Amino acid sequence: MTTESQVRADDRAHVFHSWSAQGLIDPLPIEKALGSHFWDYSGKKYLDFSSQLVNINIGHQHPRLIAAIQEQAGRLATIQPAFANDKRGEAARMIAEIAPANLNKVFFTNGGAEANENAIRMARLHTGRHKVLSTYRSYHGSTATAITATGDPRRWPNEPVAVGVVHFWGPYPYRSPFHSANEQEESQRALQHLRDTIVFEGPGTIAAILLETVVGTNGILVPPPGYLAGVREICDEFGIVFIADEVMAGFGRCGEWFAVDRWGVAPDLITFAKGVNSGYLPLGGVVISEEIAETFRERPFPGGLTYSGHPLACASAVASMQIFKEEGIVEHARALGDDIIGPALAALQEKHPSVGEVRGLGVFWAIELVTNQDTKAPLVPFNAAGPAAAPMNAVAAACKERGLWPFVHFNRLHVVPPCTITADELREGLAIIDEALTVADGFSA
């Protein structure tokens, strides 16, 4: 039987961790997980309010999903992408059936970064243009073009990588870059800013606008009314491909199959990963409109992956979508947001001076922490590290001490549990956050 000490020893000796200074981390060994919880080797139980990396939408170890993977492994473990495969085709059909408008083809990848890479490639080849516009508050993956399109500080040490990416400001009513007084004004001014950026970059040079439908790690920023429809109109006007990055926001996270459904907007390409099979196996992809797919009817698409549409991963996606439908998980996620999370976080905002704003949809929410509600000064500086990040580290530690594993980024505490979490588990976690926020209150001016 593997011991905690052996796990730690092997990890420290041989595992090279992402986004980390290797000598400054001490990863917690995890022994098992089930539903909305996971356990360390000491037997301590954590309520997973991070869904790991906001991807365990169906919860840990769902028995039907595990069984589907086991069944497929016993029948056909792998087959290369050039062959047709039953689970690959079924997964593509099921995804196309829930996608908006005429998005009817699926190109499978191993994750979200590769999905965005290939979506950008498709847009460039379809339009014959090279530039891609994306927002500053964004994350699109760590591969070459995806990290260049990313707007957050993870891009900085990776530069220069790709060319042709231009960043612009997206809407953020709480900290409006346009000095807007309300959501309507924010939407209008953000759209005018986008239009101005396009005009000065040259509409004929722009292949795509890449947007997270609801910005994820960089703030869970819900687009104000009219914004996505306005982006769609601008793209149509200038012949630009609209790529909706739904890697984090899709598959139930926002209480919809795809977050764009909430606004009735149909992009040209949708990128997905994470929630499609809750990370039980690596899987992502691009849902493609008929118009863009037609570009490659007699012209080869110059991209591919050895594991594109891997049978085990696709079998898990088919089972996951079946479970979502039969167990009403999308509807459950929407109800949790409307009936429990939204009202509870609004009450926390009233109670705690450290809470500047709460926002979100479904099981996709952010608590923005400040030192002063009037000035909106963030609890920690932008991209804080070391001692400057101590207040947020203290809040996270208070959650963990009480058995809740949080998702923390910059000055925000995100509430992103599995879409399958029960109402009682959710209330338990929110009560722990209530206690942890007293730590944040201690830093308020």
| 275 within 8 A of 250, measured Cβ to Cβ | yes
Q: Summarize pLDDT for 362-380 with one digit per residue, the tens.
A: 999 999 999 999 999 999 9
Encoding tokens for residue 370? 């400040």
Residue 344: is it exposed, middle or buried by C-beta count within 10 angstroms (0-12/13-18/19+)?
A: buried
Q: What is the mean pLDDT of the chain?
A: 97
pTM (two decimals) = 0.97
Please tell me the total number of residues recorded for the chain in this structure: 445
Q: Summarize pLDDT for 212-247 with one digit per residue, the tens.
A: 999 999 999 999 999 999 999 999 999 999 999 999
Which residues lie below 8 Å from residue 307, measured CB to CB, with a gap of 6+? 78, 81, 110, 282, 313
Percent of the chain clearing pLDDT 90 (strictly above)? 99
Encoding tokens for residue 385? 């590290």
Buried/exposed 360-374: b ≥16 CB within 10 Å, e otherwise:
bbbbbbbbbbbbebe
Strand blocks (E) in 187-268: 206-212, 241-245
Q: Summarize pLDDT for 160-207 with one digit per residue, the tens.
A: 989 999 999 999 999 999 999 999 999 999 999 999 999 999 999 999
Nearest 5 degrees, angle CA 402-CA 18-CA 315?
Answer: 85
